[in-house]
Amino acid sequence: MKKYLIKTTLMAIAVAAVSCSPKEDSTVIGKQNTKIENGRMTPEVLWSFGRVAGTQVSPDGTKVLYSVSYYSIPENKGNSEIFVMNADGSDKKQITKTATREAAAKWMKDGEHIAFLSSESGTMQLWTMKADGSDRKQISKREGDINDFAFSPDEKKLLFVTDVKYGERTVDKYPDLPKASGLIVKDLMYKHWDEWVQTVPHPFVADFKEGKIENKKDILKGEPYECPMKPFGGIEQLAWSPDGKTIAYTCRKKTGKEYALSTNSDIYFYYLKTGKTVNKTEGMMGYDQNPTFSPDGKWLAWESMERDGYEADKNRLFIMNLQTGEKADLSVGFDQNSTGLTWTSDSKSILFVSCWHAVTEIYRADIAEKKITQITKGVHDYSFVAQAKDKLIGVYHSMSKPDEIYSIDPKTGTETELSFENKDMLAKLEMGKVEERWVETTDHKQMLTWVIYPPKFDKTKKYPTLLFCEGGPQSTVSQFWSYRWNFQLMAANDYIIVAPNRRGLPGFGKEWLEQISGDYGGQNMLDYFSAIDALAKETYVNKDKMGCVGASYGGFSVYWLAGHHQKRFKAFLAHDGMFNLPQQYLETEEMWFVNWDLGGPYWDKANAIAQKSYANSPHLFVDKWDTPILVIHGEKDYRILASQGMAAFNAAVLRGVPAEMLIFPDENHWVLKPQNGILWQRTFYEWLDKWLKPPTPKEEK
């Protein structure tokens, strides 16, 4: 159900979904002049922030390349532009300003040119330009989009990813029915999050001579496998060796039912001279992905999970000695995930980010000493780190600030902001206080719970309060900044938000994380009660006006709590939640997830873990529903089908429980289009205000 990079990749997905193309109105979209009243966040203000992404450090470590996306609510679309600045934040320049989409910008080896993808010619093709935006040239002219790319270190070859046909299509079987829309399905994994699978990404390698791409070869040689892996994998799942002779790539070489049941991906080496492929992680049974070579070519590092079928397993930091083939886990004894790996220039250490106690910091793993050291410390989440001479460049966000680029002193951890893309907007807004609390659970453990207060909080007043239920389920309630579930926007509407890191979340050790598997409706639900009950004791919490909200597994939590809350809440709101677990088992496409987390199929009566899971399906407790509920779902959500939300809404109406439903025919597991996003927010607060904000005396009359 989850992936560790979901929160950091959603912005890129949203841009891809709604960016301008040459076939649309060619209006250039930039910063929006959104009015801010009383220093309060609004949905319109939230959608006006610039979204920083794609940070790249130049080869000599002196410059930083990145993109910024802005959205237009009236035009219902967004666009990204490319920026360059010095590594100390000076001399920042916007080097593109077009109505077409630019993406995946990367430095070329001379540090004076940039390669990037642009839709200017109608499809996403490879272009180059100078670092000041001049001398813009189109390099590729192929049919179909290029998804991403990476030059070999000497820039004599190009590695690029594009989609290739998968399986037999209806028109292949019946050429006389070219307009037939039906899909003939013969095996599992026929859908992926929001698409019917008719193509898969493949990596190609080609000669790059005098600005021309020649002699391209499919590295998978026509094999019917994904590379990178859907739905979130990108070019980070492939890597060039420093000598340019080898490409390491991530692939799960499975299809159909076998693919649906397994997470076992491997790291393969493709040797350009011979065209042969060798599996370098054979026998390692979980996710092995995101390979990266050391600059001296002696080591390979990658992220590795141990167990097949468990997508939320610990992300270990593995290295391989490329001379001996010996593998080692540098994260032994480090009870945290290791993601976003990048080598230091001396090949002696690996930088990465990791979440612990609901904040994500930068760490360094030293190979010789096999020692991990924390570099940064603060109330924020880092999503990226790279070396820039004697400094580090990182990207971080918090519950009170969207992504910005920072310079970090690797010795002291001192952070200096560089990009300031949203400085003016943030200066006009008053953010609510974010407080860290530790709450005792029913089994006498301590649980970190974030409490976010309204701006101008007055402890002598009573405030309506929301319990936030996290999705995943193994996705931490860290210092994330969301363009939908934004805690500061909730606080700006005069709600107190209670966001617990309940059982099943990473960043608190293996035992805390894994307790939830096979225990849906169990201890993690008691954790929710512990958090909201602790806050309800505060004099400033209106315990008669408490609501409960969440999406995905959080939506399941809302449905389950609706049948067990014992009058605690006065309003519920569930987005894309699981309502009927037996049905969910057969509706989702990633069978490894439901097999691991639910324990197996509902028809296995001898499986006590599975039977416990299905006995806690929310649809079995509708007879106890007595509280108003808003259901939201997207019809292009193929992970948790919209039928789950519709069934929950129908059940509430038939039970006589006040209910509404917001259905999006064109949205998936998220809400990506600007006007749909605004509609989501307006419906969200209109519903909660109706049930949780006491009417004024005038309104009562």
Q: Is 617 a catalytic residue?
A: no
Rg (CA), the chain: 25
Task: Please give the full DSSP string across 159-190, using - where no structure is assigned.
Answer: EEEEEEE-S--HHHH-TT-TT-------SS--
Q: What pairing do the DSSP bridges indicate for beta strands 349-356 and 339-343? A: antiparallel
Q: What pairing do the DSSP bridges indicate for beta strands 238-240 and 195-196? A: unpaired
Q: Which residues pair with 86 in a beta bridge?
A: 63
Residue 210: which residues within 8 A CB-CB, separation 6 or more? Answer: none
Tell me phi and psi for residue 554, to 5 degrees: -65, -35
User: Is 142:42 a contact under the CB 8 Å cutoff?
Assistant: no
Q: Which residues pair with 509 in a beta bridge?
A: none
User: Is 545:464 a contact under the CB 8 Å cutoff?
Assistant: yes
**Taking the CB of residue 110, how many other CB atoms lie within 10 A of it?**
12
Q: Which residues pair with 213 in a beta bridge?
A: 208
Beta strands in 210-322 (DSSP E): 212-218, 238-240, 246-251, 266-271, 277-279, 288-293, 299-304, 316-321
Copy the structure tokens of residue 109.
């080896």
- Between CA 468 and CA 538 the distance in angstroms is 18
Q: Which residues pair with 203 in a beta bridge?
A: 161
User: Is 438:448 a contact under the CB 8 Å cutoff?
Assistant: yes
User: Is 624:615 a contact under the CB 8 Å cutoff?
Assistant: no
Backbone CA torsion sign across 124, 130, 135, 140: negative
Label residue 332 left, alpha or beta by phi (over 0 means left) and psi (-120 to 50 means alpha).
Answer: beta
Q: Which residues pair with 192 in a beta bridge?
A: 195
- Between CA 237 and CA 247 the distance in angstroms is 10
- Between CA 503 and CA 514 the distance in angstroms is 8
CA-CA distances (angstroms) from residue 623 to 38, 113, 626?
A: 44, 65, 8
CA-CA distances (angstroms) from residue 102 to 52, 393, 682?
A: 13, 22, 31
As to burial, measured by CB atoms within 10 angstroms (0-12 exposed, 13-18 middle, 19+ buried), residue 163 is: middle
Residue 406: which residues within 8 A CB-CB, separation 6 or more? Answer: 393, 394, 395, 396, 415, 416, 417, 418
- The number of helices, as runs of H, and strands, as runs of E, in the chain is 15, 38
* Alpha helices (runs of H) in 304-357, residue ranges in sequence order: none
CA-CA distances (angstroms) from residue 569 to 531, 558, 626?
A: 13, 11, 10
Closest CA to 404 of 416, 420, 393: 420
- Between CA 38 and CA 21 the distance in angstroms is 37
Q: Is 637 a catalytic residue?
A: yes
Copy the structure tokens of residue 74.
């009236």
List the catalytic residue out of 265, 552, 557, 613. Answer: 552
- Residue 249's SS3 state is strand
Q: What pairing do the DSSP bridges indicate for beta strands 157-165 and 199-209? A: antiparallel
List the catalytic residue out of 288, 313, 494, 637. Answer: 637
User: Is 353:383 a contact under the CB 8 Å cutoff?
Assistant: yes
**Amino acid in the structure at residue 673:** K
- Between CA 684 and CA 696 the distance in angstroms is 21
Copy the structure tokens of residue 243.
């000598």
Q: Is 669 a catalytic residue?
A: yes
Which residues are catalytically annotated?
552, 637, 669
